[in-house]
Structure formats: C-alpha cells, structure tokens
Amino acid sequence: MIEMTEVANATGLVPDIPGMHGPKVDVPDLQKVFVPRKDGGILFHSGVVDYSTGKVAPGVFVIIRTDSHIIKKDLKYYALGEGPYYLLYRPYHLCSIETPLS
C-alpha cells in the first residue's frame, strides 16, 4: 500500500507489525479496533499506520486520543463520542490534489 508508506514517511509513524494488520472493519467500529491491545484493540503500539479492508474506501481516517479535558469536551460537543478514542473520518480523499501539498 503505497499510500501507507507515504503516510509513514511523512509523519514518522511506522506500521505496528510488518505488512500491517489490515483487518476487515467498517467505519462505525474503527475506533474500537485500531487501539492498543490493552484497551481491547489489535495494536501492539500507539502512533502507528494501518488500514482496513472494510467499508472505509475511498475515505481516510485517523484515531485520536487526548488527555486534555477541554479537547474531550469539544470532541463530545461535536458528537464524536465519550472517548477515550475518537474517530476522525473523511469519506473521500483527493489524492491527485492533496499529494502535491504534502
């Protein structure tokens, strides 16, 4: 997955395991699965790149966590859930436009 290599190179984040996990997970469950094992997910580490073979494409997503009470309050206000992990999902990506900007 060349896009994941580009993300890894641009951010310094690396795959959790060689080849990545790539589970079949749909959008509503991404923030439950792409979290550390100690929190019920599949990841051995935080701050990694991975992908899903579920109904996500052509979108892109990131799972975030914060310790800031102010940010948690804002995320709840934006109906992103109670946490501690939050899903930011965009149901499209404009590769030919975004790549030159990154």
**Arithmetic mean of pLDDT, 72-97:** 90
Which residue range is the domain that position 18 belongs to?
2-101
Number of domains the chain contains: 1
Taking residues 54-60, report their average pLDDT: 92
DSSP of 5-57, one letter per residue? Answer: HHHHHHH--EESSTT-------GGGHHHHSSBGGGTSSBSSSSEE---SSTTT
pLDDT at residue 72 is higher than 90: yes
Give the mean model confidence (pLDDT) for residues 69-83.
95
